[in-house]
Amino acid sequence: VVGYRDDPDLQVLIDTMQESWHCCGINGADDWDRNTYFSIAAREVASPEAGGVPFSCCLNSSQLTFKNFYCGHGVRLKEHAQSSLNTIYTDGCLPKLQLWLNNNVFLVGIVLIIVAVIQILGICFAQNLKSDIFAQRAKWYYTH
C-alpha cells in the first residue's frame, strides 16, 4: 500500500487483487492513509487523491468497460463517510488472501515443490558443469 504509486508492478498487483477479491487495503480502506498520495494529510498539499482510495477499491470497478479512475477520490474524508459505504469495498485483502491460501494450500504446495525441484536440478547441473570445466582445464594443462 505504501509504494502503490511509486512501483507500477506493485500497483498492477494491488489493483488486480482488490478487483478480483472485492477488497480494499490490507485490513480495510483506512490502510490507504499510509500512502503519501492517498493520506488525509495530503490535503495540505492539495493532492486530488487525498483521503481517497484507488479505483480498484470501488464497487463494480471490475465489471465496467470503462474504468472510473476518480470514483475513490475523497471517500475516506469525514464529509463523505456515509456515502463511501455504498461506493467502495470496506473489507481488507489480507483475510481474503488467507482464505484463498487455505482453499488452495494443496496447489500452492505442489507449485513450491516443483520450483524447489527445478532449483535443486539447476544446482546439480551447475555443479556438474563446473566439474567438467575443471576436468577439461586439467587435461589442457597437463597434456601440453
**Per-residue pLDDT tens digits for 45-77:** 777 888 889 999 998 766 666 777 778 888 888
Which cell numbers in the block locate residue 103? 482453499
In a domain, 3, yes or no: no
- CA dist 140 and 105 (Å) reads 53
As for how many domains the chain has, the answer is 2
- Between CA 105 and CA 114 the distance in angstroms is 14
Same domain, yes or no: 51 and 116: no
Q: What is the pTM of this model?
A: 0.70
Residue 109 and residue 84 in one domain: no
Whether residue 69 sits in one domain with residue 125: no
Q: Which residues span the domain enclosing 124?
A: 104-143
d(CA 108, CA 31): 27
pLDDT tens digits, 72-123:
888 888 776 666 667 899 899 999 999 999 999 999 999 999 999 999 999 9
26 and 58 in a single domain? The answer is yes
